[in-house]
Chains A and B, each alone.
Chain A
């Protein structure tokens, strides 16, 4: 069985971190597993964690005023889940629900924030990586907003 440190080193999110930093960060982390349908976090609740996905799939959902939940994006292995722990007011902006059996490494947000504050160099790399993830998600969302394939209102 791989240690958390090994799991993190094998994950693309940690490509830019040196081994000593990964070892330090591993101290904030535990291994977790979610069953299909399990809620990982809910919109507006305190953002107390950051997840690095090893396998499975998580759906990010927002509630539709007409009822029901709309899946706005999914996150899978080799990706990360959650950025709200990094910026005030530290609240989730969507629901996250596992849609397949999902294995992940969970970081305690307080511990991560403390590590980033204590070592601004680590904080900078973290911010840059999260900004990259956010930029990618924003571009993906913008392109989907264009409704390129069109025709939603056609019979």
Chain B
């Protein structure tokens, strides 16, 4: 093996992180921040909406985080991260200039293009809007190829709604019907209060042509999937993104195993037909 091919092999080894520099950070909510990263070697990282990377905070650890940026701009890598523990705390604290390790992108995508010609329904709960954002941007970029496009989004409180500017822009210029709801409303709140499933009956889509993409906590996804299937959306047109603890991200270690499935390579995005039976058994 020549030195050049050896370097190439190292460069493409899925277990070896590439180095990315944080170029911009944004506080989205009180516990959630978006990091914009650029590769230190200048080589873009193309990805499919729905895929994730293993994001490494040196000296702390590595966690799976979905890519939340625009697939049309692979020269920047965006991640929206909620602070729930040691690694995510260190990631959300990263400042411009910080170097992080990135492996991936890994896993299956939403493949929203399968739904061209029909309606598209996105349903997000909490941080679940982050993995859907690239898919929404992909649909908006080719808006005329789709029928009605609806985003149903539930969060804990109005302050926890992610991407407020995007939500406004998608509704105003992107041809997306955006419906939001919160679990409870503070005094003076004039928006909607209720669970995200409450939005399904009034979403206005054709269940026969629609593809639905759901992301959020499993209990929420199960409830939404049931509501959509009751409306007539078939299990092969209904996709959801699963989360399990991960270590390797490439189907070697078994950490993410869900029965016969490895969430890191068979997922994270699955058809409801495939994952639905496991959802109900493993949910709680």
Contact = CB atoms under 8 A, between A and B. Distances in A.
Nearest to A68: B187
A146 to B, nearest CB: 6
Contacts of B189: 59, 71, 99
A149 B156 contact: yes
Contacts of A68: 186-187
Contacts of A88: none
A144 B184 contact: yes
Contact of B187 (A69, A78, A140, A144): A69
Contacts of B219: 143, 146, 148
Contact of B195 (A36, A140, A155): A140
Most buried by B among A69, A139, A154: A154
A70 B157 CA distance: 11
Of the listed residues B125, B155, B195, B197, the one surrounded by the most CB atoms of chain A closer than 10 A to its CB is B195
Nearest to A78: B202
A74 interface: yes
B187 A149 contact: no
Interface in A12-60: 36, 57, 59
Contacts of A59: 185, 189-190, 193
B183 A147 contact: yes
B13 interface: no
A136 B198 CA distance: 8
B18 interface: no
A140 B194 contact: yes
Contacts of B216: 148-149
Interface residues of B, number: 33
B223 interface: yes
Interface string A64-82: 0000111111101010000
A76 B194 CA distance: 11
Contacts of A144: 183-184, 194-195
A55 B101 CA distance: 52
A149 B127 contact: yes
Contacts of A69: 187
Contacts of B193: 59, 71-74
Given A140-B195, A149-B155, A154 B223 contact: no
A148 B30 CA distance: 16
Contacts of B82: 151
A71 B195 contact: no
Contacts of A73: 193-194
Contacts of A147: 156, 183
Given A71-B193, A140-B197, A151-B82, 15 more contacts: A68-B186, A68-B187, A69-B187, A70-B184, A71-B185, A74-B193, A76-B192, A76-B202, A143-B219, A143-B223, A144-B195, A149-B125, A149-B155, A149-B160, A151-B160
28 contacts: A36-B190, A57-B190, A59-B185, A59-B193, A69-B187, A70-B186, A71-B189, A74-B193, A78-B202, A100-B190, A139-B195, A139-B197, A140-B197, A143-B220, A148-B125, A148-B216, A148-B219, A149-B154, A149-B156, A149-B160, A149-B183, A149-B216, A150-B156, A151-B31, A151-B84, A154-B30, A154-B31, A154-B83
Interface of B: 30-31, 82-84, 125-127, 154-157, 160, 183-187, 189-195, 197-198, 202, 216-217, 219-220, 223
Which 9 residue pairs spanning A and B have beta carbons closest together?
Answer: A149-B126, A71-B185, A99-B190, A144-B183, A68-B187, A140-B195, A148-B217, A154-B31, A149-B156
